[in-house]
A and B are shown apart, each in its own frame.
Chain A
Amino acid sequence: MKRLLTPLTYLCLLLCGLLFISPVGFLLIGSLKPDDLVLVESGGWRALWPTSASLENYRDVFTRVDFTRYLLNSLFINGMILGTGLLVNSIAGYSFARLPWRGRGLLFNLVLAVMIIPLEAIAVPLFYIVSLLGWRDTYLVQILPFIANAFSIYLFYTYFIGLPRELEEAARIDGAGVVRTFIDIIVPNAKPVFASVAILTFLTQWGAFLWPLLVTSSEAVRPLPLAIATFHGLPPLRWGDLFAFGVMMVLPILSVFLLFQRLFVRGVAATGIKG
């Protein structure tokens, strides 16, 4: 395929790439400009040039809304889903892949079937259930429903099934129980799948919008994606402030992405394997 990459296509790719990524540059540069300049200068090359740069918008965000609270909410909710999710789904995947027990096949088929039910399809009754339970406007309601995840179980299952059996047999001969074997033998040999699942979970949960919109009403538990939509509707509309909010909101996931790009790409590619 070498001939495909002549200098001309390379240049074309470069231009397309720059155009493609310009909204990101626009966001970053705009967050540094005085509010009134963001829109005025957005129609030309100056949109991507810091004609006057200051961190004033960032300060404004903190005085206009409780950004720290939203950030901590998002970090807490995502941390809890990630930590408990990795534990719960990995042991379930292991149990389905490696341990014989009655009803295993039937229940695993159920997990596979549940995989195609999107959150949107169950949002209405789930909202009804948590309303009856009085769980609205809590952290719990934003965490608990997202811990068990059929697709994560499936990813763990396919990885564990591919591990050589000798690993566990040696441990079993040494008298190790199921839990010991899992912790000492399986987990250290399954780092890639833990990374993939962690990244996919983070990727889907960090931007969660629909569910928090339905179940939260107070700022105390509101996560970032919902907070930026509320901030967008909060007069006066100041684009500089909004963009500063946006930069700070994407920074955690963007830095994780830039640090672990390979893992990200592998994690996402893993979703396509079942195809």
Chain B
Amino acid sequence: MPDRKSSSHAGRGLTAFLLSAPALLGLLLFVLLPFLLAAALSLTNLRLGSPLPLEWMGLEQYRRILHDPTFRHALLNNLLFVVTVVPVQTVLALALAVLLNQRLGAIAWFRVLFFMPVVFPLSLVAVIWVLIFAPGPDGPMNALLELISFGAWTPRDFLHDEQLALSAIMLTSIWQGTGFQMVVILAGLQAISAELNEAATIDGAGCWQRFWFVTLPQLRNTLIFVVLVTTILAFRLFDQVQIMTQGGPHDATTTVMFEAVQTAFSRQQIGRGAAMTVVMFLVVLLLSLLQRRIARQQREVS
């Protein structure tokens, strides 16, 4: 009898492991293995269809890309994207979330409205905004700017203008992404207890005071999360660039991911392309660790 029991116990353990096996195998083959391979390939000169022998290069690829003006420009563009899009989008999403955090019938429709672009595939969004940024006075963006500047605006060709192209891509991304952040922040708002707000009101706090001293501190971890996710997305920026500008004009809109794809696929330099994606991953990793650290500190304080 004890024998049978222990064998059925072992059987359960085996079944339990087998249940997770397909998922583990998938993650191993399609995430972990390529990830380790990315690190390994970045230390070689691997090229597809090249007659040159495979060579171990150590950190040479990293030295080269960090001295490559185009790649540096790409990194800079990603950084510019982060320092502009992240604050603008977060503030916008926060404002919308606070305004829409009510239980009125009509308000629910506003939520649907602002969330709608999130379900649009980025490639479709990019195509729509190519037309919005059309050159000439008929282009919607030109027409809008002319209207609100009372005719002072002279039409520009946004996507072929070195000074404006990156901003155009930023605006496109903000339009698509704000709804996502808004919903996450709304969930954070709804987790704040009503008693806290009531207590503050009884203490004589006004609207703004409640926002600064009750809502914002309570939202801290949500906001850190939202900022982190948007920052990571900014470093992965690719679809809009590929469709709207192809990295141009004169590398004005190129990004790390766009350069990696150009290098690895158009120029077949797998080793060098892998090094670029590793740099991107290191940035993402650093930011994630930073977020965890900040969020943990907060928990210890409170």
- With A265-B183, A274-B225 known to touch, is A127 a contact of B264 (CB < 8 Å)? yes
Q: Is the interface of B mostly helix, strand, loop or mixed?
A: helix
- With A229-B127, A249-B121, A250-B121 known to touch, is A124 a contact of B114 (CB < 8 Å)? no
Other-chain residue from B20, B121, B138, B242 in contact with A91 (beta carbon distance below 8 A):
B20
Most buried by B among A20, A43, A111, A249: A43
**B158 close to A (CB within 8 Å):** no
| Chain B residues in 8 Å Cβ range of A114 | 27, 31-32, 35
**A268 close to B (CB within 8 Å):** yes
Q: Contact: A265 with B138, CB < 8 Å?
A: no
- With A203-B118, A272-B226 known to touch, is A117 a contact of B17 (CB < 8 Å)? no
The number of residues on chain A lying at the interface, defined by a beta carbon within 8 Å of a beta carbon of chain B, is 97
**A54 close to B (CB within 8 Å):** no
Other-chain residue from B138, B187, B281 in contact with A269 (beta carbon distance below 8 A):
B187
Other-chain residue from A107, A129, A265 in contact with B37 (beta carbon distance below 8 A):
A129
B115 to chain A, nearest CB (A): 7
Q: Contact: A209 with B239, CB < 8 Å?
A: yes
| Chain A residues in 8 Å Cβ range of B225 | 272, 274-275
**A118 close to B (CB within 8 Å):** yes
- With A43-B143, A99-B16, A150-B31 known to touch, is A225 a contact of B119 (CB < 8 Å)? no
Q: Contact: A26 with B140, CB < 8 Å?
A: yes
**B41 close to A (CB within 8 Å):** yes
26 cross-chain CB contacts under 8 A: A4-B98, A5-B99, A23-B129, A24-B117, A38-B131, A39-B134, A91-B19, A91-B20, A99-B15, A99-B19, A110-B27, A116-B285, A116-B288, A122-B277, A124-B264, A125-B41, A128-B41, A178-B15, A210-B261, A225-B121, A225-B123, A228-B124, A261-B112, A261-B115, A271-B229, A272-B184
Chain A positions within 8 Å of B, measured between CB atoms, are 1, 3-5, 9, 13, 17, 20-21, 23-24, 26-27, 30, 38-44, 47, 88-89, 91-92, 94-96, 99-104, 107, 110-111, 114, 116-118, 120-129, 131, 144-148, 150, 153, 177-179, 182, 203, 206-207, 209-210, 213-214, 224-226, 228-229, 232, 239, 242-243, 246, 249-250, 253-254, 257-258, 261, 264-265, 268-269, 271-275
With A243-B128, A250-B121 known, 12 other A-B pairs at CB within 8 A are A20-B114, A26-B128, A39-B138, A42-B139, A91-B19, A121-B281, A122-B277, A124-B38, A124-B264, A131-B48, A229-B243, A269-B187
